[in-house]
Each structure stands twice: as structure tokens, then as C-alpha cells.
């Protein structure tokens, strides 16, 4: 009988130790999860800080004169509801064209998320056309990121975007300046 009581006591102690260990493991996992969430959210800690005022709303443009010939006129339009349109119109890039002849264009339509220092662009639709290939514009509807890892600053009527571009060999930091039109 005493052995039976000792066996039950040992079994009860064993279950108590197991429950204690499971509770400790659960607490450790909870702490690790909290630390992980905190460290991940630090990357986006500047989101939703702007409030109701949206400093990028409007139309912004940039004209780049190409080294060889022609120019690219880029237009970035932001609305209050979080949508954007980005257009890149190329003029006179082919040898038989003047600077006023439309050579090609690309248009992206999508949504953006604005924070204090970053803009996240998600294009939902892209339309391209090139006069050298002729034919109708080609539209694709698939989500893609524009201006990868994009930060921004606004100084009076100048919007500066700093982002990453990729070539076949490497990635590069790129800066693009836009002037507010409207």
C-alpha cells in the first residue's frame, strides 16, 4: 500500500514537473514571438504617422534628356484615396524622329502606402507601347512593385525619390527628382 502511494506521488510529481516545463516553454515561446513581432514592426514604425494630411497628393513631373537623343517625360500622379498613376513618355529616341515625336510609353496604375519617410508602390496594371514595334498598346494586369525600397523627401515643390534599380549585374541606388505641377 505504501508503495502504491509512493508510486502515485511520484507520478503526480512527474506530471507537475511536466506541466511546469510546458508552462515555461509556452512562456519562452510567447516572449520570442513578442520580440519577433516588435523587431519586424520596427521596419514599418513610421506608417500611419502622417495623419489626414497627404503631402504627395497632386501631379509631379520630371524631364530627362537622354545622352544620345530624345527625352523621357515622367509623370507621377497621387490621389487622396491611395491610388497613383506613373507614366514614362519617350520622345525622339529613334534616329528618324524629332524631339516632339512620341517614340514609346509606359503607364502603371496602382496603389501606394505613404509613411513619414517611405512610399510603397504596388502597380496593378501596366500598359506599354513602342512605335518601333508598331501595333496596339499591351496591357498586363499583375501586381508588381515600382521604385523598390523607395524613400522620399519633399522640399517646397520638389519630390525626391530614392530607390533601388536592378541591372543584369548589380543593384544601384537611384535618385529621381519630380517637380509639382498641380
Q: What is the pLDDT of residues 140-163, one digit of tens each?
A: 999 999 999 999 999 999 999 999
Residues in the chain: 182
Same structural domain for residues 131 and 66?
Answer: yes
Is 51 a member of any domain? no
The pTM assigned to this predicted structure is: 0.70
Per-residue model confidence as pLDDT tens digits over 73-116 = 999 999 999 999 999 999 999 988 998 999 999 999 999 999 98
Q: Which residue has the higher pLDDT, 23 or 39?
A: 23
What CATH number has the domain bearing residue 144?
Answer: 2.40.128
Compute the CA torsion angle 30, 32, 33, 36 (nearest 10 deg): 160
Residue entry with cell 519630390: 159
Same structural domain for residues 123 and 174?
Answer: yes
154 with 117: CB under 8 angstroms?
no
**What average pLDDT does the structure give for the chain?**
81
Residue entry with cell 489626414: 52
Q: Check pLDDT > 50 for residue 31.
A: no
User: Cα separation of 147 and 78, whole Å?
Assistant: 15
User: Cα separation of 163 and 173, whole Å?
Assistant: 6
Same structural domain for residues 38 and 70?
Answer: no
Which structural domain, as residue segments, surrounds residue 90?
58-180
Same structural domain for residues 78 and 164?
Answer: yes
Same structural domain for residues 91 and 152?
Answer: yes
Q: Quick one: how many helices (H) and strands (E) in the chain?
A: 1, 10
- pLDDT of 42 reads 37
Number of domains, the chain: 2
83 with 179: CB under 8 angstroms?
no
Amino acid at each position: 500500500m505504501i508503495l502504491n502511494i509512493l508510486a502515485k506521488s511520484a507520478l503526480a510529481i512527474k506530471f507537475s514537473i511536466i506541466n511546469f516545463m510546458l508552462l515555461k516553454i509556452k512562456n519562452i515561446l510567447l516572449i520570442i514571438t513578442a520580440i519577433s513581432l516588435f523587431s519586424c514592426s520596427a521596419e514599418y514604425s513610421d506608417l500611419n504617422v502622417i495623419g489626414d494630411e497627404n503631402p504627395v497628393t497632386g501631379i509631379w513631373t520630371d524631364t530627362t534628356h537622354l545622352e544620345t537623343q530624345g527625352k523621357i517625360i515622367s509623370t507621377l500622379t497621387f490621389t487622396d484615396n491611395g491610388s497613383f498613376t506613373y507614366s514614362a513618355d519617350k520622345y525622339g529616341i529613334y534616329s528618324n524622329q524629332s524631339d516632339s515625336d512620341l517614340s514609346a510609353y509606359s503607364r502603371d496604375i496602382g496603389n501606394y502606402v505613404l509613411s513619414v519617410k517611405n512610399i510603397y508602390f504596388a502597380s496593378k496594371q501596366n500598359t506599354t507601347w513602342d512605335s518601333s514595334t508598331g501595333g496596339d498598346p499591351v496591357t498586363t494586369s499583375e501586381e508588381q512593385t515600382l521604385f523598390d525600397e523607395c524613400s522620399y523627401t519633399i522640399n517646397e515643390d520638389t519630390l525626391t525619390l530614392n530607390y533601388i534599380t536592378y541591372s543584369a549585374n548589380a543593384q544601384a541606388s537611384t535618385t529621381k527628382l519630380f517637380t509639382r505641377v498641380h
